């Protein structure tokens, strides 16, 4: 990856999702509604969990943190996308692109780790109920959440450093609506084969590893419930359904996107909409509809605010 003499790119051009003005207006409306739902839905979950003493269990503590992560995750890309669609300003400074890339992977990896912790919480609650209170004590929950953020920070720092050491001297057009690893690396004026494999090993293996851990935890839960059929176990198992839906929506597109070098397949910007916008929007709906406790607490909060 020798640098040589080159004129460094100072900005990138984000092509967005479409060049057709009518479609741009449609995408602007959809993204604006989705972003508003992300903010309102996740803020509602945070306020509900924080104000209702009945939702003090570790599961709801982790759910509250997931809502914080979702708000941060969508806020990395959505405001910039909305501004580009409305103002037709497609340029983004090199520093801004690197910052967006860093925070996208920082928060995204933190969410993957957090979902893995949530699966461990459900496994402990169902398979080791007598030890659940001791294992998932409040201090342990805070430590696990802090470890998720730390893991995301380390992952993102590695990815960003790999990008920053590449020379960018020629093309600056990104075939996406935000700065991500694969579209940016394809613009480098150097042989990026080793960098691509390192990035695939980092992002792709993290996605695949967390996904396999989640699948294993659910398999153990199913085996436990099948061995001891009872109403209590089935009620606990029902809380995992929403988690499985979130895991599928997040990990399948991420594994498809990141578990391969940049040159094997062109990046699909429409697939990235699933995990950058659609999933954070669906999380509040999925968890609210699947949890009677959250629905009841939200309704009580609504009545208190309307009183």
Question: Strand pairing of 91-93 and 173-174?
Answer: unpaired
- pLDDT band (50, 70, 90) for residue 103: very high
How would you list the strands of the sheet with 91-93, edge to edge? 91-93, 11-14, 173-174
By mean pLDDT, which of 8-12, 25-29, 250-254, 257-261 is the weakest?
257-261
One DSSP character per residue, 210-223 reads HHHHHHHHHHHHHH
- How many angstroms separate the CA atoms of 219 and 283, rounded? 23
pTM across the whole model: 0.86
CA distances for 57 relative to 52, 69, 119, angstroms: 11, 19, 14
> Taking all residues of the chain, what is their mean pLDDT, rounded to a whole number?
82
Query: What's the average model confidence in pLDDT over 228-243?
Result: 59
Q: Which CATH superfamily is domain 11-295 in?
A: Rhodopsin 7-helix transmembrane proteins (1.20.1070.10)
Cβ distance 183 to 104 under 8 Å? no
By mean pLDDT, which of 40-49, 104-113, 241-250 is the weakest?
241-250
Which of these, 190, 187, 195, lies nearest to 5 by C-alpha position?
190
3-class DSSP state of 93: strand
> What confidence tens digit (pLDDT) does each residue in 191-209 have?
888 888 888 788 888 888 8
Phi, psi of 267 (to 5 degrees): -65, 140
Which of these, 32, 97, 46, lies nearest to 297 by C-alpha position?
46
- Angle ∠(288,294,298) on CA atoms, nearest 5: 95
Q: Which residue has the tokens 């739902």?
A: 37
Q: Is the pLDDT of residue 1 over 50?
A: no
- Looking at residue 168, what DSSP letter applies? -
3-class DSSP state of 12: strand
Structural domain boundaries in the chain: 11-295
> What confidence tens digit (pLDDT) does each residue in 209-235 have?
888 888 888 888 877 776 665 555 555
pLDDT of 158 reads 93
């Amino acid at each position: 990856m020798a640098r040589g003499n080159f004129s460094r790119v100072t900005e990138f051009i984000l092509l967005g999702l479409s060049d057709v003005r009518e479609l741009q207006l449609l995408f602007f409306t959809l993204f604006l509604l989705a972003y508003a739902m992300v903010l309102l839905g996740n803020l509602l979950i945070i306020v509900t969990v924080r104000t209702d003493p009945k939702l003090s269990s570790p599961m709801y503590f982790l759910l509250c943190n997931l809502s914080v992560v979702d708000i941060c995750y969508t806020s990395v890309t959505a405001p910039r996308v909305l501004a580009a669609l409305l103002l037709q300003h497609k340029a983004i400074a090199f520093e801004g692109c690197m910052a967006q890339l860093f925070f996208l992977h920082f928060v995204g990896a933190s969410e993957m780790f957090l979902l893995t912790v949530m699966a461990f919480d459900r496994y402990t609650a169902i398979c080791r109920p007598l030890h659940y209170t001791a294992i998932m004590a409040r201090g342990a929950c805070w430590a696990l959440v802090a470890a998720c953020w730390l893991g995301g920070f380390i992952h993102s720092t590695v990815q960003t450093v790999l990008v920053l050491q590449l020379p960018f001297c020629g093309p600056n057009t990104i075939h996406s609506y935000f700065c991500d690893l694969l579209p940016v690396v394809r613009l480098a004026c150097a042989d990026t084969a080793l960098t691509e494999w390192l990035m695939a090993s980092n992002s792709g293996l993290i996605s695949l590893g967390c996904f396999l851990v989640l699948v294993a935890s659910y398999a153990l839960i199913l085996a436990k419930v099948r061995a001891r059929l009872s109403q209590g176990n089935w009620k606990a198992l029902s809380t995992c359904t929403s988690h499985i839906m979130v895991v599928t929506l997040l990990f399948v597109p991420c594994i498809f996107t990141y578990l391969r070098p940049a040159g094997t397949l062109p990046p699909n910007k429409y697939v990235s909409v699933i995990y950058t916008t659609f999933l954070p929007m669906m999380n509040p709906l999925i968890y609210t509809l699947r949890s009677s406790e959250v629905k009841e607490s939200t309704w009580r909060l609504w009545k208190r605010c309307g009183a």
